Amino acid sequence: MKKLLMWALLAFCMIHAQHVWCADNMPIVMTDAQEKVSSEFGRLDAGLKRAAVQLGVSGLTGDSARAALAELCGSFSYAVDCAAVDPKGKMLTIEPAPYRRFEGADISGQEQIKRVMRDRKPVLSSVFKTVEGFEALDAEYPVTAQDGSFLGSVSLLFRPEKLLGDIIQPLVQGIPMDIWAMERGGYILYDADKKQIGLNLFDSPLYRPYPSLLKLGRQIAQNPTGAGNYNFIDRITKKVVIKNTYWQTVSMYGTDWRLVGIHVESKKAK
């Protein structure tokens, strides 16, 4: 039934708005996507907080600390590794086992580490090149001992395309719509076309021939919600088409992601 409603809403918007989806009728699938990603952020926050409390009791090293990190990482399918980080930015304990070789690594120069150690508040990073050797995001949560002293932070490193793909793919299955996601700086966090994940909308040569996409991309970066259209390659036909667009925002620890829903208006760009 929900799939039929999505089809009907898309059809209504296409009939009643030229080149732009109905501003007052957000597609149901976009509402679902926003709610589910926000819910997952809430679950991640709760997991980090629980691990931080456990580490506040056990300290950042030892069997109990390792068990807390293993439990945290095992709770999220998109997690790569989890670490206890001391106030100087050194990773003291890491789980799971394949990543223990990075214990002792100094990550004090990373932007999110600087912030969590300075402000002692949770942080979600932008995508960056990790010491483990790949592009990922890091969620950091401060750890405080029972006597109130600051011990450092607990870190969960994860791949955003895994988190988003697990949510978005089932939502758009069987409807004429895709959803992609980006950071405000233009980094593509998720796309149905896997080759675009990791590109930057404002820097990549792939996007330069499409000024309408770059113009709308700047609007997406600057505004938490909106609607518009742009010309770009259809991932199925490989031809340039008009894509109607509606976007909105999900946030964690003050870091925003844009979720961008697209529907092909025309099989041929004007």
pLDDT digits (tens, 9 = 90+) for 206-258: 999 999 999 999 999 999 999 999 999 998 888 999 999 999 999 999 999 99
Q: Please state, in angstroms and rounded to a whole number, the distance separating the CA atoms of residues 223 and 146.
A: 42
* Domain-embedded: residue 18: yes
Of 196, 186, 230, 249, nearest to 34 by C-alpha is: 249
Q: Please state, in angstroms and rounded to a whole number, the distance separating the CA atoms of residues 81 and 69.
A: 9
Mean pLDDT, to the nearest integer, of 257-264? Answer: 96
What contacts 45, CB < 8 A, 6 or more positions away?
122, 141, 252, 253
CATH of the domain at 88: 3.30.450.20
Q: Phi, psi (5° rounding) for residue 68?
A: -65, -40
Q: What does the pLDDT read at residue 16? A: 39
Average pLDDT value for the chain: 91
CB-neighbour burial class of residue 14 (10 A; exposed 0-12, middle 13-18, buried 19+) = middle
Q: What is the pLDDT of residues 137-184, one digit of tens each?
A: 999 999 999 999 999 999 999 999 999 999 999 999 999 899 999 999
Q: Please state, in angstroms and rounded to a whole number, the distance separating the CA atoms of residues 80 and 67.
A: 16
Q: How many domains are contained in the chain?
A: 2
Return the percentage of the chain with pLDDT > 90, whole number: 84
Q: What does the pLDDT read at residue 12? A: 42
In this predicted model, which residue has the larger pLDDT, 266 or 259? 259
* Domain-embedded: residue 226: yes
Q: Enter the pTM of the model.
A: 0.89
* Domain-embedded: residue 34: no
Mean pLDDT, to the nearest integer, of 192-202? Answer: 97
| Parent domain of 178 | 2-25+164-266
Q: Are residues 168 and 156 in the same domain?
A: no
CB-neighbour burial class of residue 18 (10 A; exposed 0-12, middle 13-18, buried 19+) = exposed
Asked if residues 161 and 197 have their Cβ atoms less than 8 Å apart, the reply is yes
